[in-house]
């Protein structure tokens, strides 16, 4: 089982959205996915509940509450015994023994950020923390910055400057753009199943293209992460 972790010290960076999208992308290829919820606000639990109401939850995926060390250990052991292909961990904000354990146990680390000076400062602080932790533990774990909510059109001068600054760090090959499909996942459920349902409704064809564009971006992210794991 490969553990992929989304890390950010700042709330609202998009780490949970990235995790949800990555889960959908992995599920489309038939992979089984365990979701470790270390965020005490339980956004993944609510996501699953909303998805089940809309018949948009993949049975090959499961959420495990892991916001305390004993719960994390039990979740990992359970997921391994059930032979999940991947585990995706959603950390909580700030530094803690729980976050340190998740980071040090991961096979890949993803640090999401939006293109604002404040968000990038927080992403850099998170990235610096991760590197110092890994060096202290004598570990080498692939880590990349994920640019989130990037405008589909032209960037502002500030966004361009921030984006150019990030090129000095390891980045995912492509960003995730600002799309309604990503924002709606928390209510609608898993994106690939939402697409499947809408595809049978002729009145939703215009909205379908937007959902498919979002899914294509998630599949690119999935390919990048899986390539790094190999």
The domain tally of the chain equals 1
The pLDDT value recorded for residue 193 is: 92
The pLDDT value recorded for residue 215 is: 94
Return the beta strands (E) in 68-131 as ranges: 86-90, 108-113
pLDDT at 100 over 70: yes
Q: Strand 33-37 vs strand 143-147: parallel, antiparallel, or unpaired?
A: unpaired
The pLDDT value recorded for residue 56 is: 94
Over residues 173-201, mean pLDDT: 89
pLDDT at 206 over 70: no
Closest CA to 47 of 10, 20, 15, 26: 20
Over residues 26-36, mean pLDDT: 95
Residue ranges making up the domain that contains 194? 2-229
Over residues 24-37, mean pLDDT: 95
User: In whole angstroms, what is the distance from residue 173 CA to residue 185 CA?
Assistant: 23
pLDDT band at 204 (very low <50, low <70, confident <90, very high): low
Please report, rounded to a whole number, the percentage of residues in the chain having pLDDT higher than 90: 71
| CATH code (residue 188) | 3.40.50.300
pLDDT digits over 54-72, tens only? Answer: 999 999 999 999 999 999 9
Distance between alpha carbon 74 and the CA centroid of its chain, in Å? 22
Over residues 152-162, mean pLDDT: 89
Contact by Cβ (8 Å): 9, 99:
no
Would you tell me how many other CB atoms lie within 10 Å of the CB of residue 206?
A: 7
The pLDDT value recorded for residue 207 is: 72
pLDDT band at 205 (very low <50, low <70, confident <90, very high): low
pLDDT at 38 over 70: yes
Residue holding tokens 């996501």?
47
Q: Which two tokens stand for residue 31?
A: 């992979």
pLDDT at 222 over 80: yes
């Amino acid at each position: 089982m490969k553990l992929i972790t989304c890390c950010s010290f700042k709330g609202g960076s998009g780490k949970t959205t990235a995790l949800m999208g990555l889960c959908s992308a992995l599920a489309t290829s038939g992979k089984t996915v365990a979701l470790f919820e270390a965020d005490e606000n339980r956004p993944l639990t609510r996501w699953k509940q909303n998805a089940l109401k809309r018949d948009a939850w993949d049975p090959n995926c499961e959420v495990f509450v892991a916001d305390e060390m004993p719960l994390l250990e039990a979740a990992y052991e359970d997921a391994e015994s059930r032979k999940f292909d991947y585990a995706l961990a959603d950390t909580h904000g700030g530094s803690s023994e729980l976050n340190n354990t998740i980071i040090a146990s991961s096979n890949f680390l993803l640090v999401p950020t939006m293109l604002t000076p404040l968000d990038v400062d927080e992403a850099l602080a998170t990235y610096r923390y991760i590197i110092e932790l890994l060096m202290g533990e004598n570990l080498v774990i692939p880590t990349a910055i994920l640019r989130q909510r990037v405008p589909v059109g032209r960037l502002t001068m500030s966004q361009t400057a921030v984006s150019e600054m990030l090129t000095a760090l390891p980045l995912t090959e492509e960003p995730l753009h600002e799309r309604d499909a990503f924002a709606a996942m928390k209510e609608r459920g898993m994106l690939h199943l939402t697409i499947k349902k809408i595809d049978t409704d002729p009145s939703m064809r215009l909205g379908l293209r937007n959902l498919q564009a979002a899914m294509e971006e998630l599949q690119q992210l999935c390919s990048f992460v899986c390539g790094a794991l190999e």
